[in-house]
Amino acid sequence: MTKVINKLVRDKIAKSVQEILGNDQSGHGFDHVLRVRDLALDFAEVEGADKEIVELAALLHDVDDYKLFGKEAAKTLPNARRILTENNIDEETATKVLEIISTMGYGKSLEGIRPTTLEGQVVSDADMCDNGARGILRPHAFGLAHRQVFFDRTIPPPSDSNISPEKYQASKKEHVVQHYFNKLLRIHLILLTDAGRAEGAKRYQTMVEFLRAFFREEKADDWAKYLEEFIKELEEK
């Protein structure tokens, strides 16, 4: 049975997360964490998940993210473990939270690693649903932080739309627009809860309309054609 975690402890944990992520400018900062936390709690209400587990996992899900802290930290989760210990979170709860964090992420989903508990599915869906309008702003922020151009017209659309873990990692060196096709436009197809899928469908449509307008304004007819073919292929899955 999960022990009740009072607001004072939750606020202290949130402050620790803010201290770790507060200066991030790549789209994985504390503002992202708060959006994921709030959306995850909304999903938890609909799905009947344990809100305390959900809130803790949502708050801590990026404190050891490999994009910020490296692959070893992502495996061992030192920051998450330390914060849970410092706040005297009971072992059962801590184990559940760490298990959720260790099974989250789009890259892991490509390897067949997904959360198995309802709470993990709720938090994972909330994290993946931080796109839509944010799916326009966050990739742009990531590109700026890594000196990556948003759109390079000299790069033609890929010859096929298949994605693998290796291709996904390699694509991060390309222009930001490719990230939509390698990840963001696929998210709604792999969400795990009814609440997540409903929200994901709305945010998917927002990104599609943005790309249609962007390619039209850029007169990038080849990419506009590729987008429509990509959408058709997704709808057939």
pLDDT digits (tens, 9 = 90+) for 183-233: 899 999 999 999 999 999 999 999 999 999 999 999 999 999 999 999 999
pLDDT of residue 110: 86
Q: State the average pLDDT over residues 18-26.
A: 80
In single-letter form, the type of residue at position 114 comes to R
The pLDDT value recorded for residue 14 is 95
Are 213 and 139 within 8 A, CB to CB? no
| Contacts of the segment 4-10: beta carbons below 8 A, 24+ positions apart | 4/52, 5/52, 5/56, 5/89, 5/93, 9/87, 9/88, 9/89, 10/55, 10/56, 10/59
The whole-number average pLDDT for the span 22-33 is: 77
pLDDT band at 68 (very low <50, low <70, confident <90, very high): confident
Longest Cα–Cα distance in the chain: 58
Q: Is the pTM of this model over 0.85?
A: yes
Question: Taking 90 as the threshold, does the pLDDT of residue 26 lie above it?
Answer: no
- 100-122 average pLDDT score: 93
95 confidence band (pLDDT: 50, 70, 90): very high
Q: Are 38 and 63 contacting, i.e. CB atoms less than 8 angstroms apart?
A: no
Q: How many C-beta atoms lie closer than 10 Å to residue 16's C-beta?
A: 18
CA distance 179 to 187: 12
Q: Quickly tell me which residue has 């609440």 as its tokens.
A: 195
Average pLDDT over residues 85-105: 95
